[in-house]
Amino acid sequence: MQNRISIKSLIIIMLSSLLLTGCDTYPYKEKIQESNDYNNPTGYKAKCMMVGRVTQSMYPYTTFYMQGQDLPYSSETQKANFNRLKNDSLHLFAGIGFFTEEYAGEVDGRATYRYDLTDLGRKYVDWSFGNTNFCFGRVVVDKINRTKDTINGVGGGTVRDVYFTYHLENVPDWVKDPQIYKRFRYFKEQVNGEPFPGIHSYKVSSNGKLTTMTGESGRSRWASDFNEEIKEE
């Protein structure tokens, strides 16, 4: 009797899943692609590498030393660590032609350098969130893998995560520079055109309407050398 009940329950679950799948005819692939293209109209700014907190008005920018920036990362040294990594990133991107780099003398025995954007750097720069970022690429949605509904623990309501696979187009050669790979390892597989997993989240209203919350076209496009270094440690 127990086996019969188990088999019957399993059949009901399977049929329910099939019915739910069949009823969900929302064109996720097309809509997620539209969202990405809307937020990236040029097709060249899907993914961004964060250099640091340097706004457009701060150039030419001269580096400086902060006490504690060479110490291991901690809550006390966080700001100083950001400064060191920003200086390292400026030097890194100067090496591939995005900045001019000029020795600006020593301050308290520390060498300082002055940076300004080149024409090549201006081609890829993005100033979002008060940072200097270099962006590239276009997300191309390949297929939808699955969806998952959860209850939003913060504001209530339903959140639907759509798991999909995508690849990147319009990837310039500078992204494949070994030094860029080393610093921004997160992008290595993506820039080679390999399939990569993505998540696009919707808020589901009571009438079933879907509203984009986050996705490849939103916050997830950003990466910083600081985050990459912390992962390694």
Rounded CA-CA distance 37/148 in Å is: 24
108 and 220 fall within a common domain: no
Closest CA to 136 of 123, 124, 154, 127: 124
CB atoms closer than 10 angstroms to residue 200: 26
119 and 154 fall within a common domain: no
128 and 77 fall within a common domain: yes
pLDDT digits (tens, 9 = 90+) for 184-209: 887 777 787 788 899 999 999 888 89
Residue 149 lies in a domain: yes
Is 187 buried (19+), middle (13-18) or exposed (0-12) by CB count in 10 A? Answer: buried
Name residues whose C-beta falls within 8 Å of residue 32's C-beta, 6 or more positions apart in sequence: 141, 144, 162, 164, 200, 215, 216, 217
116 and 222 fall within a common domain: no
pTM, full prediction: 0.76
Residue 3 lies in a domain: no
The domain in which residue 74 lies consists of 48-134
Supply the pLDDT for residue 116: 98
Q: How much is the average pLDDT of 34-48? A: 92
Identify the domain boundary among 112, 134, 156.
134
Identify the domain boundary among 134, 167, 199.
134
109 and 166 fall within a common domain: no
| pLDDT band, very low/low/confident/very high, at 156 (cuts 50, 70, 90) | confident
> Number of structural domains, the chain?
2
55 and 85 fall within a common domain: yes
